[in-house]
Chains A and B, each alone.
Chain A
Amino acid sequence: MDNVSKLLLVEDNPGDARLIQEMLSEVETSKFEVSHEVCLQDALKRLSAGAFDVILLDLGLPDSHGLDTFTSVYAQAADVPIVVMSGFDDESFAIKAVRHGAQDYLVKGRIDNSLLVRAIRYASERKRLLMELKESQQKELQVKNQFLSYVSHELRSPLTALYQFITILLDGLAGEVSPEQRQYLEISLNKIKELQNLVGDLRDASRSQTGKLSLELKQVSLPKLIDETIKSYQMRAGEKGISLDSKIQDNLPTVYVDPERVVQIVSNLIDNAIKFTPENGTITVEAKVVREDPDFVRISVADTGCGIAPEEHEKIFEYQYQVKGTSKGAAAGLGLGLYICKELTLRHGGRIWVESRAGQGSTFFFTLPTQTG
C-alpha cells in the first residue's frame, strides 16, 4: 500500500480512538487518512457521502450493539473491507461478524501497531480477492449464456430445413406417399418438433437471462386459447389413457397478455402433467377469477400424478433445475420449462406457484392481469 488509504474509524471510546489513531500515524509502510465517527448513524452518513478503502468498526456503539452494528455498516458498504473491534467480553460477536462478511476482527487491549497494520492489509487483500472471484463467476455465467445462445441459433437452420422437407413430403408435393411412408415421416416430424421445442426453450431461457424476453401484449379471450391448447395435447394424453379436460368460469374477463406466450406456459404445464401422471390419470385445466385477487385470472393445471415434495416447491422453477428420479422413459429435459414459465409469468406481472405433496398429485397455478399496468 503505497498511496494514501482512506480509513473510517468508528469508535465511541475517546481513549481507544486516540490510541488507534496514534498507532496508525506511526506506521511507516502506509499512510492513512483517518475519518473518525463515534456512533453508527454518523458512520452510515459518512459512508453514503463518500468512498473508503477500509473500515475499522467498534461493535459496541452508543446507538448499536454487536452483530447489528456490523450488518448495518455492511449493508451500506458491501464492497469495502471491514475489520471489527470488540472488547474481551464480546469476542463472540466479532467472530460472528467475520462469518457474516467482516474480513477480520481485533480484540481491544490486544492490539499493537504491527497487528493493526497486518489486519488492515490482509482485510484489504481478502476483500480484493473476493471481488475478483465474484467478477470471474459473473463472466463465466455470461460466457455460458452466450454459448447457449449460439448453440440454439446454430441448431435452428438445419432444423428448419428438416421441418420444411418432411412437411413437403407429407403434403405429397414430391409425389404420392404410401401409408407406411406417411407413418415414418410423421414419426420423424414429431422428433423434429421435439427438437424445435428444445431449441426454443434454450433460446427463451438465454434471452430471459439477458433480459431480452419480449412480449407482444393485447387483450385476449382465454377460453378459446385454453381449449385449443388442450386439443393439441389430447392425443398424447390419450396414449396414456389420461383424461384431459378444462373447467372455465363463465364470463371470464379478457386478459392483457401475449397469447403465444400464454399458450407456451399452458403447454409446458400440460406437457409436464402428462409426463408425471401415470396411466388412466386425470388432468384438469381451470381458469377463474378468485375474489381475493380480482384484477387477475387464475389458471391452474391439476394432475393426479406423483406429486412434488414441499422442499422442492420453489426449486423446481429454478434455471436448469432437473427433477430427480424421473421414471424410466420420461425424458429429464433441460430443466428449463418451468423456469421459462416463471419468467414469462413474471414478465406479465403475474405469479406462479405449485400446490402439491409427494404421492398426491400437483396443481400448478399462475395468474395473468386483466388489464394493463
Chain B
Amino acid sequence: MAGKKILIVDDDKDLRLAMSIRLRASGYEIALASDTISAMSVAQKERPDLVLLDVNMPGGNGFMVMERFKMITHLAATPIIILTGGDPIIFKEKAFSLGAADFFEKPADNDALLASIERALGEST
C-alpha cells in the first residue's frame, strides 16, 4: 500500500534493520523506535499509519505503549500488530484484549505478516 508509514518498535537493532528492508521493499515508509519511551515521542512526531510492536523489550513491556497510544487522540485508532518472542499464550490474550489488530510469534512468517499489515491498513482507511 503506497505511501503508508509503519512504526517499528523493537529493541533488537538487527531485527529493526531487517524489517525496514522488507517493508520498504513493499512500498512502506518506515519509522523506528528502540524502547517504550522513545516509541511515544517518535509516534507523536511521525504519526504512523500502523505500528509493529515488540512486547518483550527490557525496561517495561510493550503493552504499556498500547495503553498510552489509546490516551492520545490521533494515535488511539492506529492499528497495532504485536510481535513477541516470549510466552505467546498469555501475551496473545492480553494483546487482543487491548485491541491489537493481530499477533505474531517471532520469527513471523514474512508473507503472513505483510498480509496482516495490508489487512489492518485496509480496514482503517
Contacts and interface: CB of A to CB of B under 8 A. Distances in A.
Contacts of A171: 25
A159 B25 contact: no
A212 B107 CA distance: 20
Interface in B6-48: 12, 14-15, 18-19, 21-22, 25
A124 B88 CA distance: 46
A163 B70 CA distance: 34
B119 interface: no
B87 interface: yes
Interface centre among A164, A168, A171, A174 (most CB of B within 10 A): A164
Nearest to B110: A167
Contact-size category for B: 10 to 19
A212 B14 CA distance: 30
B70 to A, nearest CB: 27
Contacts of B106: 156-157, 160
A159 B107 CA distance: 8
A160 B89 contact: no
B88 A160 contact: no
Nearest to B108: A160
B82 to A, nearest CB: 15
A167 B22 CA distance: 10
A214 interface: yes
B107 A196 contact: yes
B107 A164 contact: yes
B89 A164 contact: no
Contact of A174 (B21, B88, B110): B21
B22 A212 contact: no
B85 interface: yes
Nearest to A172: B25
Contacts of A156: 85, 106-107
A1 interface: no
Contact of A173 (B22, B87, B89, B107): B22
Interface in B80-114: 85-89, 106-107, 110
Contacts of A160: 15, 85, 106-107
A153 interface: yes
A161 B86 CA distance: 16
Given A156-B85, A156-B106, A196-B107, A168 B12 contact: no
Nearest to A165: B18
The 7 closest A-B pairs by CB, nearest first: A164-B18, A160-B107, A161-B14, A214-B89, A173-B25, A168-B21, A160-B106
Interface of A: 153, 156-157, 159-161, 163-165, 167-168, 171, 173-174, 196, 212, 214
